[in-house]
Structure 1
Amino acid sequence: MSDVSPPPAPVFHARGLSKTYVMGDVEVHALRSVDLDIFEREFVVLLGPSGSGKSTLLNILGGLDAPTSGEANWRDHNLVGADDAELTRYRREHVGFVFQFYNLIPSLTVLENVALVTEIASHPLNARDALALVGLEHRLDHFPSQLSGGEQQRVAVARAIVKSPDVLLCDEPTGALDYETGKVVLAAIVRANQQLGTTTVIITHNAAISGMADRVLRLGGGRIVGEERNPRRLSPDEVHW
């Protein structure tokens, strides 16, 4: 009998993903036959310049967009064949999103912004615990206008993780932040990955962030043009740009 364990099944499995946008007489090929597997608890960085297809790929994995052709699955969920109601349920139950812009509700406090999500989640964290995870337990009663940009982004991270998502999808989460603030936000995302076991995908054009990943996928011209695995993940304190 063999002692070799079978390889783990990917939580994301995509084959032949293509996405074409038609703008008048012009066709823009955002993705071209992308094959992709992402595994449970992985921390993956999708690295590439603007226009390489990163955001389109992330939006398809998150159920926010559909490919022109190809297949994409989250575990046993067929993301390509799903209707709007199924995709809404998938996003609500399984996915946390962090975008470059925070999209907080200005009339709600920090705690209320995060607690709002727990009302639609099946197995949410305590909102205070989620804010403690990102180091904002002392800002619960403040409003977004009273926070710095980095603090607002950390609230957005807490809002994404409070519903205990299986996967956290981050679109340039430090793109609007300065160096030191960006590292604080990255540290919050890393804690979610390590302490909650959340599969995490970050897209960025900042090559330095790739040192924090288990695996780095490089995109160019709508294709995955390179893949590398880090022998050791760097901590946010070790990342410099």
Structure 2
Amino acid sequence: MGDATPAADTVFLARQLSKTYGEGEAAVHALRGVDLAVQRGEFIVLLGASGSGKSTLLNILGGLDIPSSGELRFGDHWLSGASEAELTRYRREHVGFVFQFYNLIPSLTVRENVALVTDISAHPMPVDEAIAHVGLAPRADHFPAQLSGGEQQRVAIARAIVKRPDLLLCDEPTGALDYQTGKLVLEVIARINQELGTTVIVITHNAAIAGMADRVIHLSDGCIQRIERNPHKLTPAELSW
């Protein structure tokens, strides 16, 4: 179930998307018949308890996993049934990932960590521009060990956006951060969405973050339980938890 009404600016269209791990009595049904349409430039928050299917859905949308059944289309490209080579090209050309853990290379500076991605990008933005977008220009020559957790997460965001992705997919981006630092990171993500027009999908267990989304998708037991549209989006500064 869900909302799968396509529009002219639909970036994702999923119909009856399902994912099963294992077989027989040991089978785990991570997604069960999800229908969803995502519009270009939307800010979406996926909410749900552990095991609800939100990470599985994000991984399939990001081309890190494939559905067991159903259809998934990104623009004019079918991701359901795509080969590994096609999925690799899709991830490289269209998707930026931000995870709870930063995955920075300790021996490289901020600038060098971000520059790594430009080697596989067709039209990357200047590295220093990406670093400036996340407010770290004064720290560009520092190493990860010289940065706070929030600064390291902002480097990870700069690395994700330097290739100008259509999509920014964030899995618990504030999960390892304290309240104030988490809000700073959310401000960066919101700014990327607003200023660059990047479609953003954020997984979180923190219901308060839902206030900054265009739409909030509630998942439970592999299904979309309901979708809420925020009539008035909050800024990260207005959030409290």
Shorter-chain TM-score category? over 0.9
Give the equivalent residue in structure 2 for 1:232. 232
Q: CA deviation at 1:24?
A: 8.5
Counterpart amino acid of residue 231 in structure 1: P
Q: CA deviation at 1:9?
A: 3.8
Q: Deviations over 1:120-149 (max 9, x none)?
A: 111111111111111101101111111111
Give the equivalent residue in structure 1 for 2:136. 136
TM-score, reference length from structure 2? 0.95
Choose 17-26 or 181-190, whichever is displaced more.
17-26
Give the equivalent residue in structure 2 for 1:33. 33
C-alpha distance in structure 2 between counterparts of 1:210 and 1:8, whole Å: 25
Distance 1:122 1:170, change over 3 A: same
SS state at 1:103 partner = coil
Give the equivalent residue in structure 2 for 1:71. 71
Q: CA deviation at 1:82?
A: 1.0
CA contact under 8 A between 2:216 and 2:229: conserved in structure 1?
Answer: yes
C-alpha distance in structure 2 between counterparts of 1:39 and 1:139, whole Å: 35
| CA RMSD across the alignment | 1.3
User: Unpaired runs of 5+ in structure 1?
Assistant: 1-5
Give the equivalent residue in structure 1 for 2:57. 57
Give the equivalent residue in structure 2 for 1:3. none
Give the fraction of aligned pairs with identical amino acids, expressed as a percent: 69
C-alpha distance in structure 2 between counterparts of 1:190 and 1:34, whole Å: 26
CA contact under 8 A between 2:7 and 2:39: conserved in structure 1?
Answer: no
C-alpha distance in structure 2 between counterparts of 1:115 and 1:230, whole Å: 36
C-alpha distance in structure 1 between counterparts of 2:103 and 2:77, whole Å: 28
Q: CA deviation at 1:98?
A: 0.4
Q: CA deviation at 1:27?
A: 1.1
Counterpart amino acid of residue 113 in structure 2: N
1:177 maps onto 2:203 in alignment: no
Q: Deviations over 1:79-125 (max 9, x none)?
A: 11111111111000000000111000111100000011111111111
SS state at 1:119 partner = helix
Choose 77-86 or 51-60, whichever is displaced more.
77-86
TM-score, reference length from structure 1? 0.95
Counterpart amino acid of residue 63 in structure 1: G
Q: Which runs of 4+ in 1 moved over 2 A?
A: 6-9
Counterpart amino acid of residue 119 in structure 1: D
Q: CA deviation at 1:23?
A: 7.2
How many aligned positions are there? 236
Give the equivalent residue in structure 2 for 1:13. 13
Counterpart amino acid of residue 76 in structure 1: D
C-alpha distance in structure 2 between counterparts of 1:131 and 1:188, whole Å: 11
